[in-house]
């Protein structure tokens, strides 16, 4: 029960309903109430023995300005006081007064449009008494001085309720047949009633709130407004509901009234991460690498990647992330950690010395070299002889070289590096030059026997790669050699 009473009280104190104003200057009231006689027979106000006291009346008010109204009140009814043996005072009376009302809802203490509108007044009027059949009064008319107070409770700008207390001090002291000479007869009229305001309110924007009170006089048609004529703003974010895409939640103008908690330019309703600034491509979530995959779902948040790879890159598109791919720039196979096996020999290209020719693991992915071939090359180490200090091949070496020619003809995929070496005797530079010339001499011999030049390469290493010690005759003899190293054409 307390809550409804409190709410009602707050509405009276703070509510805005309008009422009599510069637009609706006239107000007419219909009321009823009780009279309260005060004279020689009764000197106590509000005495319940005053049973002869019913009143009916009309009132009129004219708006002068926010502070004052001009009022005209008129009532008819009974005035009297009950005593035993029918010895009291009673009279039929009509009274009226013209008054000046001071309003507390003047814009300074209370809003002019408040629901609760208290006032006080002073004025002058008359009281006319009719002769009582039992001769309990003296008929006639007195002038009165009036003062009082009251209040209106407005339901809307056209209708409200009124309470009015009118105190009247009359010009004579004998209407009750008694006169003490101390003071004249007095009475109070208490009334409650209804109040109707009359007038035409100017309302330029047609929102139902007069221009005088309208704080937003240019509101578009059919837009709902509050009591002050401004568009409704349910969420109190300063953006009218009719322009607010989120009218029930406080937001910001840049988001058309919707909230953006993290300030990333994406409304909370559309933001998958409303409390953390993000980007539109990740539905409002952070995406440090800009790949469209939110950092929370990105296994590689600092490197742009693919959704299919959980945000990690796969440069060669082989379904293996670059971080796990031993050959990240070449499309390969999972079983070889992302590397290809071009020749399908089971050896990945990154470990295959002959990636385009099927080979064997024992020869690092190159074709297996026959044992007979290896024996020929082994004999060549010692079997190829030159004239002392020269690059002229001795005829005794031709047989070995012819076997090399046969091997090259039988194996067209072979390429051959011819590497010349010397011992440490003599000048280093001369040894280097001699080893190169001897390697070229062997190359020339093989070319002469029909082996294509592009299958042969000659290199001289001088004394830089000894196989044995140069301190012994035997070691120096072993270091003077020509080596054949097989390579393979792609």
Q: What CATH number is attached to the domain comprising 100?
A: 2.40.160.20
Q: Is residue 349 part of a domain?
A: no
| pLDDT at 241 (0 to 100) | 86
Residue 285 placed within a domain: no
Cα dihedral 59, 60, 66, 68, rounded to 10, equals -70
Tokens 């209370």 sit at which residue?
110
Q: CA–CA distance from 249 to each of 181, 236, 260, 283, 285 (Å)?
A: 74, 9, 11, 21, 21
pLDDT of residue 13: 41
Examine residue 145 and state whether it is found in any structural domain, yes or no: yes
CB count in 10 Å sphere of residue 72: 15
- In a domain? residue 381: yes
Cβ within 8 Å of residue 86, ≥6 positions away: 134, 136
Q: Give the phi and the psi of residue 148 in degrees, each rounded to 5.
A: 175, -170
Domain boundary among 180, 198, 216: 198
CATH number at residue 457: 3.30.1330.60
Per-residue pLDDT of the chain (490 residues; tens, 9 = 90+): 444 444 444 444 444 455 666 678 899 999 999 999 998 888 888 887 777 789 999 999 999 999 999 999 999 999 988 887 767 888 999 999 999 999 999 989 998 889 999 999 999 999 999 988 878 889 999 999 999 999 999 998 889 999 999 999 999 998 888 888 788 999 999 999 999 998 777 777 777 777 777 788 888 888 888 888 888 888 889 889 888 899 989 989 889 889 988 888 889 888 888 888 888 888 888 888 888 888 888 889 889 888 888 889 888 888 888 888 889 999 889 888 889 888 888 889 888 888 888 888 888 888 888 888 878 777 776 778 888 888 899 888 898 899 899 888 988 888 899 999 988 888 999 999 998 999 999 999 999 999 999 999 999 999 999 989 999 988 888 888 888 888 876 5
Q: Is residue 310 part of a domain?
A: no
> What are the start-end ranges of the E strands in 355-430?
414-421
Strand order in the sheet with 414-421: 456-460, 414-421, 481-488
Residue 1 lies in a domain: no
Q: What is the sign of the dihedral through the CA atoms of 367, 373, 375 and 378? A: negative
In a domain, 234, yes or no: no
The answer to whether residue 295 is domain-embedded is no
pLDDT score recorded for residue 14: 42
Looking at residue 76, its pLDDT comes to: 97
SS3 192: strand
* Number of domains forming the structure of the chain: 2
> In the listed set 166, 198, 230, which residue is the last one of a domain according to the structure?
198
Residue span of the structural domain in which 418 resides: 371-488
Q: In this structure, how many other beta carbons lie within 10 angstroms of the beta carbon of residue 233?
A: 18
Q: Indicate the SS3 state at residue 460.
A: strand
The Cα–Cα gap between 339 and 317 comes to 12
């Amino acid at each position: 029960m307390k809550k409804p009473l409190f709410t009602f009280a707050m509405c009276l104190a703070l509510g805005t309903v309008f009422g009599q104003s510069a637009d609706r200057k006239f107000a007419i009231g219909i009321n009823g109430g009780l009279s309260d006689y005060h004279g020689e027979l009764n000197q106590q106000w509000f005495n319940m023995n005053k049973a002869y006291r019913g009143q009916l009346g009309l009132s009129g008010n004219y708006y002068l300005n926010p502070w004052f109204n001009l009022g005209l009140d008129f009532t008819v009814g009974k005035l009297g006081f009950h005593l035993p043996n029918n010895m009291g005072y009673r009279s039929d009376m009509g009274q009226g007064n013209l008054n000046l009302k001071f309003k507390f809802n003047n814009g300074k203490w209370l809003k002019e449009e408040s629901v609760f509108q208290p006032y006080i007044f002073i004025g002058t009027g008359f009281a006319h008494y009719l002769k009582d059949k039992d001769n309990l009064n003296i008929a006639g008319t007195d002038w009165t001085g009036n003062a009082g107070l009251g209040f209106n409770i407005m339901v809307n700008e056209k209708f409200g309720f009124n309470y009015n207390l009118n105190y009247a001090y009359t010009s004579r002291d004998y209407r009750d047949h008694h006169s003490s000479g101390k003071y004249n007869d007095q009475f109070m009229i208490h009334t409650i009633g209804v109040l109707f305001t009359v007038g035409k309110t100017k309302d330029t924007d047609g929102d139902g709130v007069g221009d005088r009170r309208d704080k937003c006089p240019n509101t578009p048609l059919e837009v709902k407004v509050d009591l002050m004529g401004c568009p409704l703003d349910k969420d109190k974010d300063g953006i009218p509901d009719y322009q607010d895409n989120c009218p029930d939640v406080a937001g910001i103008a840049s988001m058309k009234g919707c909230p953006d908690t993290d300030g990333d330019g994406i409304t909370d309703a559309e933001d998958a991460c409303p409390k953390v600034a993000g980007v539109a491509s990740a539905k409002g979530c952070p995406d440090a690498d800009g790949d469209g995959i939110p950092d929370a779902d990105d296994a590689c948040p600092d490197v742009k990647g693919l959704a299919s790879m959980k945000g990690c890159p796969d440069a060669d598109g082989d379904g293996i992330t670059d971080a796990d791919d031993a050959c990240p720039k070449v499309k390969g196979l999972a079983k070889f950690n992302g590397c290809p096996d071009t020749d399908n020999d089971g050896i990945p290209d990154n470990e295959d010395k002959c990636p385009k020719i099927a080979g064997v693991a024992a020869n690092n992915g190159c074709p297996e070299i026959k044992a007979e071939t290896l024996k020929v090359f082994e004999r060549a180490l010692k079997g190829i002889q030159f004239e002392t200090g020269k690059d002229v091949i001795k005829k005794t070496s031709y047989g070995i070289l012819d076997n090399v020619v046969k091997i090259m003809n039988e194996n067209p995929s072979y390429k051959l590096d011819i590497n010349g070496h010397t011992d440490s005797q003599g000048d280093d530079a001369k040894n280097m030059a001699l080893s190169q010339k001897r390697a070229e001499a062997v190359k020339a011999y093989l070319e002469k026997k029909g082996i294509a030049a592009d299958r042969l390469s000659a290199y001289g290493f001088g004394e830089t790669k000894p196989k044995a010690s140069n301190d012994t005759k035997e070691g120096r003899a072993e270091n003077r050699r020509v080596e054949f190293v097989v390579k393979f054409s792609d």
